[in-house]
Amino acid sequence: MNDIVSLHRAEYEETPEIVVQTPARIDLLGEHTEFSEGIILALAVDRSVQVAISVRRDNSLRFYAADFNERKRTTISNLKFKREDRWANYLKGVIFAYMQMGFPLKGLNMTVSGDIPQGIGLASSSAIEVAAAIGLNTVFGYGLTDLQLIEAARQAETRFMGKKIGLIDHIVQFSSRRGKAELIDSRSLEHQDVDFSIAPYRLVITDSRVPRVLSDAELRQRRNDCKQCLAALSRKRTGTTLRDYSATDLMESMGLLPESVRRRSMHVIQEIGRVTEAADALRRSDLPGFGKIMNHSHESLRDLYEVSCPEVDWLVKRSLELDGILCSRMIGQGFGGCTVTFMKDEAVEDYKKRLEEYERIFGFKPILFTVEPAQGAQIVLHERAHENSHHQ
């Protein structure tokens, strides 16, 4: 906090009125089921973004990314999406969302800083949005409900940037409690805390460094495949999403659907079941059972949904050959990105040797870091208290 306060003060010659910190997020299971109203098991982890805000006397909007030493600026009347503004669009999008809701806004100075690696599936963008939404709500005393705050953060991308995203990342980053995973029903938006006690294992994230190419188009194709499957299944029995059907229903459709459509839909249906089973295993402290579910999920992502890649598959396979490894699975949207591995301390050095082998074979130098469960978004500095703040 002290760093961003001093950085904001040096940039704008004034102390921020509020600093909000939001954690990174990893989806343990279910990340490709949200569009089918599935269930997701996710975890806030201890990498974070901080957003500092002070109110100006004019209508200027000034944004400072301290980690890049980059600055962007505009005005309230000229607020619009610009591709070249990259990180600043997430801040501008939240301002836009509040304006669309009819809230009056003044000029702002905003500073963003953090240590969430970007572009590898740890939800750095939604972390910025959640922090900005909480900060503006508190500074101006708007009194939004939790769900309204989360929706304002999401609208930064859906209405301002034109992206199709759900609410899950924002819910996890807003609501998580330390030591708990979040089980979120994307149909009802209900969420439950699940005890996340995994000792003697630690969570190790490995960034494969594989560049994600054409992944958006590939993901759209998979979702279209699932829509095609849903249309076929709903001719026999009414259902609104694949969640309303079983693996048996899908097996009975063999011959009616292309094999790729059936495979990808089978992943979604089975993954929704795995999420519930994994949460139950955590509640029972059944770590071996939980680990098997995680490993089966990766196999399904690889063989049925087909969003993995040889490099990530190699990382998962070779990690599971080591003593002291409970499970390993790709996380994120796929076609590169990261793995999460549940690993005992004594396995770390052997695992690092496998990463050296990985670099020799594939030519990518992977990045490894350990994370722990973290608290959801928090106000870490507030100069002007308002009674309506949820996170005080």
Q: Which residues are catalytic?
A: 169
Backbone φ/ψ region at 193: left (φ over 0), alpha (ψ -120 to 50), beta: beta
Inter-residue contact 192 to 39 (CB < 8 Å): no
Inter-residue contact 274 to 293 (CB < 8 Å): yes
Taking alpha carbons only, the member of 193, 152, 146 closest to residue 391 is: 146
Inter-residue contact 86 to 72 (CB < 8 Å): no
Inter-residue contact 310 to 336 (CB < 8 Å): no
* CA 14 centroid distance within chain: 33
Distance CA 276, CA 273 (A): 5
For strands 108-114 and 60-65, give the pairing: parallel
In the numeric block, which tokens belong to residue 310?
């040889």
Three-state SS for 20? Answer: strand
Widest CA span of the chain, in angstroms? 69
Three-state SS for 318? Answer: helix
Taking alpha carbons only, the member of 113, 339, 324, 337 closest to residue 206 is: 339
Beta pairing partners, 26: 43
What DSSP letter does each residue of 250-265 carry, written as one string? HHTTBTTB-HHHHHHH
* Residues 76, 101, 388: CA angle, nearest 5 degrees: 100
Inter-residue contact 112 to 63 (CB < 8 Å): yes
**What is the per-residue burial (b if ≥16 Cβ within 10 Å, else e) of 359-378?**
eeebebebeeeebebbbbbb
